[in-house]
Amino acid sequence: MSKENIAEATKLVAEAKDALGIDASPSDVWALLQTKLSPSIPFEIHQLCYATVYEGIDDVKPAWIPTADIVANTNITKMMQQKSITTYQEFYDWSVNDRNNFWMTSMKAIGIQWQDEPKAAFKGDPAHITYFPGGRLNISDSCFGKRPLEDPAIVYSVESNARSLRNMSFGRLDALSNRIANGLFSKLKLQVGDAVGICMPMTPESIAIYLGVVKAGLVVVSVADSFSPEEIATRCRLSNAKAIFTQDVIYRGAKFLSLFGRVLKADAMIQAEKERSRNKSDFNDSKETKSDSGLDDDDICMRIIVLPGMLHANSYPEAVVDETNSTWSDKDAQGRDVLLHESVVAIMRENHDASWYDLLDGCSDTFERVPRDSMDACNILFSSGTTGEPKAIVWSHSTPIKCAIDGFYHQDIHIGDRVAWPTNIGWMMGPWLLFQLINGATIGLFNGITSTEGFCEFVDEAEISMLGVVPSLVKSWQARNATANCDWSRIKKFSSTGEASDPGTYLWLMSRVPGYAPVMEYCGGTEIGGSFLSSTLVQPNVPSMFSTPVLGSKILMMNAESEVILESAFETRSDGSGSGELVIVPPSIGLSTTLLNRDHYNVYFEGMPCGPAGEVLRKHGDEVEFVRSSSHTSKKNVSTPYFRALGRCDDTMNIGGIKVGSVEIERVCNLVDNIQETAAIAVSGPHGGPSKLVVYVVLENGTEEGSEGCDEDSLRNAMQNYIKAHLNPLFGISDVAIVQSLPRTASNKVMRRLLRDAYISSALKRSKM
Ligand SMILES: Nc1ncnc2c1ncn2[C@@H]1O[C@H](COP(=O)(O)OP(=O)(O)OP(=O)(O)O)[C@@H](O)[C@H]1O
């Protein structure tokens, strides 16, 4: 750290303290400093100010403190006023103690449109629940009608020219999705309830397709565009998809990646598997299975509808794009349709696969939405598979209400907000983002590599006001200083999901906005339809910590003996901190009720103890720590617990007789110089015995393995010193392995179980030698 930076930080802190007087708490001092620290001031100075202000405090260190104005304008405050509730704590308690009232009031506040409005939010026992009983709706209806038709529903760009924006209005989105819905019935002859895959990047068309499928009363099958043919096949087979939308190619980093080819292969795999099982059953019993038409249902392969990947790319010769905002055009400069990539045209199956244009040709812009029961499926999604086989989770027409209510309170989304979250329809945050249309938001979409300067420029140009992130993305932006030429002053808040984040990196993220912007950590899961643990704009924000359970979600925390250590969000059974497995006390709108590939009851309820008042409990499998802030917070800020995610319970280890989450160890190891990231695993010997701590290390870009301080022994010593100083001297590291990268799921989560397997098998080999 340079002498100048140290001097500047010392001066800034001293000035703030002088201005506030000696009674000021550290968070008061920070509240003033956050207004003085701009992104153009070296980050080192931000870090030093933060460390100085909170010197000697190790628990809750707010890096963003809301002003009275911000608090007053939140959706939470407005709802509290409507309900005559004065504190956030009371508001949360109301949301879980009077759940029916909370969900019905909130559902009305976000303007859900019903054909038959339900009278209650819940019916039945919590493990076999019906949401909004008697309600009939098509959830797509609620995505429209909040904004004038000419307002932008989507603002988007492609990587070849991030600063050149286009938008699709609500009117155009409605009309295009209507054409698609018409095409599904008239051209593809699909029926209400049929499943339709979407395997393509998040583009305006993929949003329109999703809405078109839902409007028609069909079910979207979410398939991430990064998947291999096997993975695509598994998802389409499990959900019995009758058709799938995809692109010819994906353009990324100036390269074309074939997508249609992968989907075609996936379909061939499904057919081959059907053929095999048919032969087997023919062999076992020779019963006739053909239908009246002579065709077995199984003979029908998926119809593939192919969109041109270059639809909006102005770097592509001849492809020009509509700049007028008001009409939909996918014509090139000569007025022709943008062509499908020639490699794809050659392999499309005649009479079976259709181009996007074939589907839309002659279809009307108007369509009468198909009303569905509140529990009818609208989307089949798949979990990431960090703990095993991905689960096929059914979202009903009620689930998006949870996405929108979470967004309304926790991301504080208002009509006219511009919301971006790099993701894909294949992951739950894709549909989550789409359903922020219910809150009247405009969705920001970037078709390209999002770890780049290009994406950061898009955020600036598109005037994004709520930016969603995943931790690995933020690490890449920080490493390449990707925001250097961007003005992110319109961002009012960030939100982060997917896996535990790193507080150092998130302080950097918050500091990219003049005056700082908070990060709403958002932890939940595909089967939750959103989150159970998050933050709000009415509470001080702490990097990588959650300030509250999500409104309407009741949680408990249990220790290994199934004893409750945190009963309600604000009443802990110990004064300081504690950690345990988080369990959910249902019901709550959004919690899944059906899995296609497992027994839902067995997965979430079987074997669970009862809650303290005899409540049914639902398992989730996350390890969470709660921490009460020590006396540093100002008297205004109630000392309620904050929460820290410690990772999946499966990744929790017992080292030296003490339970610790892998994420906790990694957080400390990541502080060592030259380390980009780490993964901590516990391994027992072949005959059991105490677990040994093994740390996998990825070195920072450009750091040579074996260079000074970067061999396994030196790294182990350095990490051990940090663990000793910041965590617990009893956590001794047994082994260190330097690797190029960590194995991740397609949604970017570290697969610690693969590392464990690999380590055990290599240790086994070594022991045999
Ligand atoms: N903000 C966050 N901080 C920490 N962890 C998070 C956060 N958001 C999500 N997670 C982790 O991701 C999990 C949810 O992810 P997802 O629904 O994709 O299922 P998964 O648990 O990764 O996969 P599977 O259930 O198939 O094993 C959470 O339970 C939590 O462990």
How do beta strands 152-158 and 195-199 pair? unpaired
User: Which of 399, 497, 651, when mutated, tests ligand 1's pocket best, judged by the most ligand atoms within 8 Å of its CB?
Assistant: 497
Between 3-12, 575-584, 752-761, the lowest mean confidence (pLDDT) is in: 575-584
Which residue from 535, 749, 751, 752 has its CB within 8 A of the most atoms of ligand 1, so it is best to mutate? 749
* Range 557-578 average pLDDT: 73
For residue 315, is pLDDT > 60?
no
Nearest CA to ligand 1 atom 5: 499
pLDDT of residue 744: 87
ipTM, 2 decimals?
Answer: 0.97
Q: Is the model's pLDDT at 635 over the cut of 80?
A: no
Cβ neighbours of 223 (radius 10 Å): 30
CA-620 nearest atom, ligand 1: 29
- The 3-class SS string of 266-297 reads HHHHHHHHHHHHHHHHHHHCCCCCCCCCCCCH
- Report which of 469, 449, 444 is spatially closest to residue 519, judged by C-alpha positions: 469
Residue 464 pLDDT level (bands cut at 50, 70, 90): very high
Least confident of 184-188, 363-367, 380-384: 380-384
Pocket of ligand 1 (CB under 6 A): 383-388, 390-391, 496-500, 521-523, 525-526, 622, 645, 648, 747, 749
| Mean pLDDT calculated for residue range 336-363 | 83
Distance 636 CA to ligand 1 centre (A): 34
**Is 266 within 8 Å of 225 (Cβ atoms)?**
no
∠ CA 411-415-416, nearest 5°, is 100
Ligand 1 atom with least separation from CA of 388: 27
In the prediction, which pLDDT does 328 show?
Answer: 37
- Residue 161 CA to ligand 1 center (angstroms) comes to 33
CA of 499 to the centre of ligand 1 (A): 6
- CA of residue 524 to ligand 1 center, whole Å: 6
Q: What's the pLDDT score for residue 487?
A: 98
Tokens matching residue 619: 């398992």
26 within 8 A of 62, measured Cβ to Cβ: no
pLDDT at 607 over 60: yes
Strands 303-307 and 354-355: parallel
The CA 428 to ligand 1 mean position distance, Å, reads: 11
* pLDDT-based confidence at residue 312 (cuts at 50, 70, 90): low
* pLDDT at position 334: 55
Q: What is the mean pLDDT of residues 644-653?
A: 85
Residue pointed to by tokens 């708490």: 25
When mean pLDDT is compared across 335-339, 353-357, 708-712, the lowest value belongs to: 335-339
The tens digit of pLDDT for each residue in 108-140 reads 999 999 999 999 999 999 999 999 999 999 999
Pocket residue to mutate for ligand 1, from 506, 519, 521, 622, most atoms within 8 A of Cβ: 622
| Span from the CA of 577 to the centroid of ligand 1 (angstroms) | 23
Q: Which of 381, 383, 502, when mutated, tests ligand 1's pocket best, judged by the most ligand atoms within 8 Å of its CB?
A: 383
* Ligand 1 atom having least distance to the Cα of 528: 17
User: What's residue 320's pLDDT?
Assistant: 36
Percentage of the chain beyond pLDDT 90 is: 70
- pLDDT, residue 332, reads 52
Nearest protein Cα to ligand 1, atom 21 = 386
**Which residues partner with 64 through β-bridges?**
541
Tokens found for residue 589: 């709108």
Task: State the Cα angle at 450 between 151 and 415, rounded to 5°.
Answer: 25
User: Given pLDDT bands bounded at 50, 70 and 90, which one contains residue 194?
Assistant: very high
Mutational pocket test of ligand 1: of 391, 403, 423, 499, the residue with most ligand atoms within 8 Å of the beta carbon: 499
**Predicted confidence band of residue 258 (pLDDT cuts 50, 70, 90):** confident
Residue 211 alpha carbon to ligand 1 centre in Å? 26
Phi/psi of residue 466, nearest 5 degrees: -135, 110
The helix (run of H) or strand (run of E) holding residue 382 is strand 377-382
Most confident of 1-5, 146-150, 499-503: 146-150
560 Cα to the center of ligand 1, angstroms: 20
What pLDDT does residue 686 have?
A: 64
Ligand 1 centroid to residue 498 C-alpha, Å: 5
pLDDT of residue 317: 33
Q: Would you call 516 exposed, middle or buried from its count of C-beta atoms within 10 A (0-12, 13-18, 19+)? A: buried
- Mean pLDDT to the nearest integer, 598-623: 94
pLDDT tens per residue, range 516-547? 999 999 999 999 999 999 999 999 999 999 99
Residues 535 and 537: their CA atoms lie apart, in Å, by 7
Q: Does residue 569 register a pLDDT over 70?
A: no
Over residues 417-441, the pLDDT tens digits come to 999 999 999 999 999 999 999 999 9
Whether the pLDDT of residue 195 is over 50: the answer is yes
Does residue 636 carry a pLDDT above 60?
Answer: no
Q: How many angstroms is it from 554 CA to the middle of ligand 1? A: 18
The average pLDDT across 11-38 equals: 96
Chain-centroid distance of CA 292 in Å reads: 46
Q: Could you tell me the maximum CA-CA distance found in the chain, to the nearest angstrom?
A: 90
Helix (H) or strand (E) holding 373: strand 372-373
Mean pLDDT computed over 446-467: 96
Q: Which of 222, 384, 410, 428 to mutate to test the pocket of ligand 1 (most atoms within 8 A of CB)?
A: 384
pLDDT for position 331 = 54
- Residue 300: the pLDDT is 65
Long-range pairs of 747-751 with CB within 8 A, sequence gap ≥ 24: 747/224, 747/384, 747/427, 747/498, 748/470, 748/472, 748/498, 748/499, 749/384, 749/386, 749/498, 749/499, 750/499, 750/679, 751/386
Nearest in space to 546 (alpha carbons), one of 660, 622, 490 = 622
Q: What pLDDT score was predicted for residue 281? A: 73
Distance CA 187, CA 366 (A): 16
Q: Atom of ligand 1 at shortest distance to CA of 648?
A: 31
% of residues, the chain, pLDDT over 70: 89
Gap from CA of 484 to ligand 1 centroid (Å): 31
CA end-to-end distance (rounded Å), the chain? 48
| Consecutive H or E run containing 154 | strand 152-158
> What is the average per-residue pLDDT within 482-505?
95
**pLDDT score recorded for residue 564:** 83
User: Is pLDDT at 325 greater than 50 in this prediction?
Assistant: no
Atom of ligand 1 nearest to the CA of 385: 26
Amino acid 316: pLDDT: 38
Q: How many residues does the chain have?
A: 769
Q: Render pLDDT for 245-257 as a digit per residue (tens, 0 to 9).
A: 999 988 887 778 8
Q: Which residues of 76-86 are buried (b: 16+ CB within 10 A; e: fewer)?
A: bbebbeebebe
Query: Does 637 score more than 50 pLDDT?
Result: no
Query: Which of 280-294, 586-600, 705-719, 734-748 bottoms out in mean pLDDT, i.e. has the lowest?
Result: 280-294
Of the pLDDT bands very low, low, confident and very high (cuts 50, 70, 90), residue 299 is low
